[in-house]
Structure 1
């Protein structure tokens, strides 16, 4: 081929490539944006989203971090920073904000310093709330360590669908202030129930809050990841076994044992994403005096009567699947429960995608990343399944059950069989809400109370 023909051929090849680049969609830069293969309920809802930060104080709490080895535990006023997402006037997805956070695993660690970064969001700071409620309340509870921003993709998404979402910075348990683990063990469920009460107070008529007449705390769900899932299960009734008492000084753990506390009746649903505390998880940290299911015995799991969705990777190496989350799902015998399993996922199936600031530090990056999955994809899947479950249990939308009562439990085994008009053929076993070839590597199980 002579030079002129070669030049012409190369020019012709570059034309369609250039044209394709001009119409390519913008990159997904905001956690929670939907990919083309996202399932139906992953999409943002009808509302724009507002966001505000609340500084709450739970007075007179036990100061577990400063508890002596023997004797009375001192008391202190426990601060809790809470990010609140809520339906706001405007076009869905139209807001823009950033959420400040830090990397690291507590203060003073030279290997993982508390490096500041920002997470982008599609909410409007301090916007008024839509007066179309009251809307069900969702408590969002992060891992250890974590932050109230760790699952901002899910908080914004649920708010756009008509939920009030309160995401807690659990004191002593964030990236910036991680302290004694005993504080997290005791305070997770206590923080959850306290914030439910505060949101109900702020949502009451005449409260003077932007949330007045907007919050229906009588229909509350708790969505917790890792230690957040551990706390959510306990708050909803899964009391711990007495054998775990030595982990916390001064007998403070007795208050979270089965039979020693009353479940807040406003809690109507729980989503436990990779909940920590099962037998394999407890043994992995060197505790050899756990119960039959780690922190739980049969009696504790039997006391969980709130409908619950478990979400877990079958390669979870922190909460574990076999010997960890799966036995909790199987033995919470007195409640309706679902379990979503992501094949080959490890423990990080819940957070936002890794921030750019984490790319230079392996440990910080792996605090977010899933080696076998794209986090944007997992975010979309969580948005879909959590929406279906909460719509069913908090809003009473019976049609939402169609997304959960799947005809085959393993998505890799489904048959997508449609007529020319798109209606299912008799042999179709696809999952509702998933387009052809998009349900892969997922399992979905359901058990009813005995």
Structure 2
């Protein structure tokens, strides 16, 4: 069942109270080249999708083998290229994240640049599905959703409405729901685009982006096959994940037609502790892949986690972007003022080492290059994703290269990565591996 363009008043509201700072979707002067906002104004609409086929894992006493009926309600926020309107008032986003136990939810607001219900500009654009982290919210990822919409993408972010992350007894719920939610939303929006009820979307050009638990879901729908012995298979009650495991009868339900690329930030699921797919399952992924992580990620792990996904997805053309000494929280906006009074609240958003405007801008640059290359077919973007200097600190400014304090690197042999300002491609790694035959 589909209900389009219903306002989600509780989640998003037109700016009234002052929210400090510029939207993180608008990069600063030190951002790499492709991070900049694109040529389009950004509109925002919201809808509610209802999946009547998912089992309701929140039902009490869920131990039997009969699948319990469910009615999965999924609010969706959609950003899109829009017609600019003089004097239009941008939105602010209001939501909450779980507070430090025993405290209740911690509310926050984030300034945006999108205009609610702005008129679409009449173009036809690829569809990008965005899946947030465990207990997260799309309001915490507007640094990316607004930025991509300005560059000619229709971006649909799902409110997964997870259990509180502190309640370990419910940890199995998102392991089932994430891939089912993503696949259902993508297929539903594609169907609406084909019938004209969702104008402006090209249903045959789709990408999926996931952060943390959203990365687990994104990799699964992109083709990574869930392992029968992995943590996800063990954690989902009632055996309801079994039909979707490698070789199961419903694996095809998780696949998305027209999927051209998948990007994951600090993805859950890799490594020996979670082992959602194993080497055999990751080897089934053939969708072009961008993996982003910090090498000090203590939430999902790096060498035995994020890097594992990159190394074992051997049949995908893939990239690995590493923030040296970076942690897990790379997928979030900067911490709003109301989330800076408790360390728990701050740590939802901020990294102990990297400033958020830097991690956001670098990812905006790399994700844009990746999507433009693999989804839009812009071959000029490949130069931004390949380098013979994988450790950025080892690069040298080319002799006779661009001059001036704010010169931009042209890339090339031994040079800093293409598109980065002089002295600003530091503390990073970029690796690339072509798909194995």
Decide which of 286, 301, 306 is 2:287's aligned counterpart: 306
Q: Distance in 1 between matches of 2:176 and 2:411?
A: 52
Partner of 2:431: 445
Task: Work out whether 1:132 is the aligned partner of 2:97.
Answer: no
Partner of 2:17: none
| TM-score of the pair, normalised by structure 2 | 0.87
Partner of 1:165: 155
| 2:330 aligned counterpart, secondary structure | coil
Partner of 1:401: 382
Q: CA deviation at 1:264?
A: 2.0
Instruction: Map residues 382-421 of structure 1 onto 2, 5 A cutoff.
Output: 382-419=363-400
Q: Distance in 1 between matches of 2:434 and 2:395?
A: 23
Asked if structure 1 preserves the Cα contact closer than 8 Å seen for 2:270 and 2:305, the reply is yes
Asked if structure 2 preserves the Cα contact closer than 8 Å seen for 1:103 and 1:358, the reply is no
Q: Distance in 2 between matches of 1:425 and 1:302?
A: 31
Task: Work out whether 1:249 is the aligned partner of 2:232.
Answer: no
Asked if structure 2 preserves the Cα contact closer than 8 Å seen for 1:41 and 1:388, the reply is yes
Asked if structure 2 preserves the Cα contact closer than 8 Å seen for 1:141 and 1:229, the reply is yes
Q: Structure 1 residues 251, 72: closer, same or farther in 2, change over 3 A?
A: same
Partner of 2:48: 55
Asked if structure 1 preserves the Cα contact closer than 8 Å seen for 2:286 and 2:315, the reply is yes
Q: CA deviation at 1:298?
A: 2.4
Q: CA deviation at 1:121?
A: 0.3
Asked if structure 2 preserves the Cα contact closer than 8 Å seen for 1:353 and 1:368, the reply is yes
Partner of 2:73: 79
Q: Distance in 2 between matches of 1:350 and 1:375?
A: 10
Q: CA deviation at 1:118?
A: 1.5
Asked if structure 2 preserves the Cα contact closer than 8 Å seen for 1:103 and 1:112, the reply is no
C-alpha distance after superposition, 1:319-358 (max 9, x if no partner)? 1111111121111111100000000001011110111111
Task: Work out whether 1:267 is the aligned partner of 2:259.
Answer: yes
Asked if structure 1 preserves the Cα contact closer than 8 Å seen for 2:98 and 2:104, the reply is yes
Q: CA deviation at 1:96?
A: 1.3
Q: Structure 1 residues 393, 174: closer, same or farther in 2, change over 3 A?
A: farther
Task: Work out whether 1:224 is the aligned partner of 2:217.
Answer: no
Q: Structure 1 residues 132, 75: closer, same or farther in 2, change over 3 A?
A: same
Task: Work out whether 1:65 is the aligned partner of 2:58.
Answer: yes
Decide which of 92, 97, 111 is 1:120's aligned counterpart: 111
Q: Distance in 2 between matches of 1:32 and 1:95?
A: 16
Partner of 1:43: 36
Q: CA deviation at 1:279?
A: 2.4
| 1:144 aligned counterpart, secondary structure | coil
Q: Distance in 1 between matches of 2:88 and 2:165?
A: 30
Q: Distance in 2 between matches of 1:34 and 1:46?
A: 14
Q: CA deviation at 1:115?
A: 3.0
Q: CA RMSD in A?
A: 2.4
Kindly name which structure, 1 or 2, has the bigger radius of gyration based on alpha carbons: 1
Q: Structure 1 residues 119, 299: closer, same or farther in 2, change over 3 A?
A: same
Partner of 2:221: 235
Instruction: Map residues 315-326 of structure 1 onto 2, 5 A cutoff.
Output: 315-326=296-307
Q: CA deviation at 1:448?
A: 0.9
Asked if structure 1 preserves the Cα contact closer than 8 Å seen for 2:134 and 2:162, the reply is no
Paired positions, count: 405
Partner of 1:342: 323
Task: Work out whether 1:432 is the aligned partner of 2:422.
Answer: no
Q: CA deviation at 1:116?
A: 2.5
Gaps of 5+ in 2: 1-19, 404-408
Q: CA deviation at 1:397?
A: 0.2
